[in-house]
Structure 1
Amino acid sequence: MESTVQRVELDGGVAVGVDGSPSSLRALEVAAHEAGLRSGALHVVRAWSMRTAPRPADCPPGAVPSMDAYQQSVDESTEKIVQEHLGDPPPVPIQRHIVHSPSPQALLSASRGADLLVVGHRGRGGFAGLLLGSVAEQCVRHAACPVLVVRPTI
């Protein structure tokens, strides 16, 4: 795994934000379908911070993992999510983009090169009274490409 990445650079395809929440998993499925319709790649974007990243399994208790170890742990977790929800092999070519960045910034950077950005309606954050989650709202307002906001299935 290469060193910590802080932004996403794409050249076409469908980008999707994934954080493991039910709405992001539904967004992943919809984005894979859209990528298939367009005969393009699916770019799975997962933003992380030390607070949100899964702790690397090989890090002993009391030790602080390196940024690269966190990056690898998030990548492995994301690969597992993709395999569980899209199958192995997946129905479309997939590239994972593991980004040490707040979610809106990671997704907006991906939108600069994507043909379509797909986001879930509700992720891990947000307030119950908001019509859209803050990440989805920022993407709708500021993305450089069309945005598809997906609700989880009920």
Structure 2
Amino acid sequence: MTETQEARDQPAVVVGVDGSEPSRSALRWAVRYAKAMGETVHAVIAWEPPVMFGLEMPVGIDTDFAADAFSVLKETVDTVLGPTPEVKVRTSVFEGYPPLVLVREAQDADVLAVGNRGRNTVAGITLGSVSLYCVAHARCPVVVAHKAQDENRGRSPW
């Protein structure tokens, strides 16, 4: 686990970040909510090593997955929130299956925010695997953010 700020203050808003536009929307929502409620944002990214079905990692691949995940998290937080966020933001990188990590980290949170990429044929109606798992298993309320619908006008509903 890598953390960039001090220990969590209770209560908190946990937000899953993966660098996608829906996760950026979730982060924007989490910051607005945390600001209104006087809370801390805990931005979380989780990674898993690629599945190789019992094979060793191919020769020549020397990837530090945790460092790559941290880079995505830091870039996303810095891009969305700028150099001086309006609320206290703590970031963490975990190895593990993202939905399990998010539900675990949100077990004492006031709310969990996740993005939904809408990768299936009925995008916008159904939830993805991570968001569906979080909605079904989190102990706290879950907010599912979608990609901004009014991109053409340059404004986000979040």
Q: TM-score, normalised by structure 2?
A: 0.76
Letter in 1 for 2:67: Q
Larger CA Rg, structure 1 vs 2: 2
RMSD: 2.4
Tell me the residue number matched to 2:152. Answer: none
User: Which stretches of structure 1, 4 residues or more, deviate above 3 A after TM superposition?
Assistant: none
The answer to whether the Cα contact below 8 Å between 2:69 and 2:93 also exists between their aligned partners in 1 is yes
Query: Structure 1 residues 14, 93: CA separation in 2 closer, same or farther (over 3 Å shift)?
Result: same
Q: Give the percent of matched residue pairs that are identical in Structure 1 and Structure 2.
A: 33
Deviations along 1:12-40, one digit per CA (max 9) or x if unpaired, are 30000111111111111001111111111
Letter in 2 for 1:41: T
Matched, 1:78 2:77: no
Q: Distance in 2 between matches of 1:100 and 1:129?
A: 30
Tell me the residue number matched to 1:5. Answer: none
Unaligned runs of 5+ in 1: 3-8, 52-60
Tell me the residue number matched to 1:35. Answer: 34
**Count of residue correspondences:** 135
Q: Distance in 2 between matches of 1:44 and 1:112?
A: 14
The answer to whether the Cα contact below 8 Å between 1:45 and 1:97 also exists between their aligned partners in 2 is yes
Q: Distance in 2 between matches of 1:139 and 1:27?
A: 14
Deviations along 1:98-143, one digit per CA (max 9) or x if unpaired, are 11111110111012121110111227xx533361111111111110
Deviations along 1:35-94, one digit per CA (max 9) or x if unpaired, are 11111110001011234xxxxxxxxx92524xxx43233213211110111111111111
SS at match of 2:22: helix
Q: TM-score, normalised by structure 1?
A: 0.77
Tell me the residue number matched to 1:98. Answer: 93
The answer to whether the Cα contact below 8 Å between 2:13 and 2:109 also exists between their aligned partners in 1 is yes
